[in-house]
Amino acid sequence: NAGVTQTPKFQVLKTGQSMTLQCAQDMNHEYMSWYRQDPGMGLRLIHYSVGAGITDQGEVPNGYNVSRSTTEDFPLRLLSAAPSQTSVYFCASSYGDPYYGYTFGSGTRLTVV
């Protein structure tokens, strides 16, 4: 089924560990974004990409790295996990035209202990 696929769905990390959250879409969307959602809060934009090779920072980029080597994939890297990064992470993609809506993945629930 066409859509945005996020892996893993759940992850527990120890403080200081690194990991990569995977995001892939098969809709040939140019734009991809990462959001985090803390308990009871709204979504905040971490990083986004307007096409392969182009990324930019969102509202809360510190502690996260991204790269976009292909149109399909947009991984999010946590370099040294901290308890403050405990959150649910959502990836989204779109055609990059406000005429079209975004498609969101089902999320990765990350706990840093």
Q: Which residues bind another protein (CB under 8 A)?
A: 31, 33, 35, 42-45, 48, 50, 56, 58-59, 90, 92, 94, 96-99, 101-107
DSSP assignments along 16-79, one per residue: T--EEEEEEESS--SEEEEEEE-TT--EEEEEEEEETTEEEE-S--TTEEE--SSSSB--EEES
3-state secondary structure of 89: strand
42 vs 62, beta carbon nearer another protein: 42
Q: How far is the CB of 48 from another protein (least distance, A)?
A: 6
Q: How far is the CB of 8 from another protein (least distance, A)?
A: 15
33 vs 85, beta carbon nearer another protein: 33
Q: How far is the CB of 42 from another protein (least distance, A)?
A: 5
Q: How far is the CB of 105 from another protein (least distance, A)?
A: 6
17 vs 58, beta carbon nearer another protein: 58
The rounded distance, in Å, linking the Cα atoms of 106 and 68 is 20
E strand or H helix at 109:
strand 108-112
The rounded distance, in Å, linking the Cα atoms of 35 and 29 is 17
30 vs 73, beta carbon nearer another protein: 30
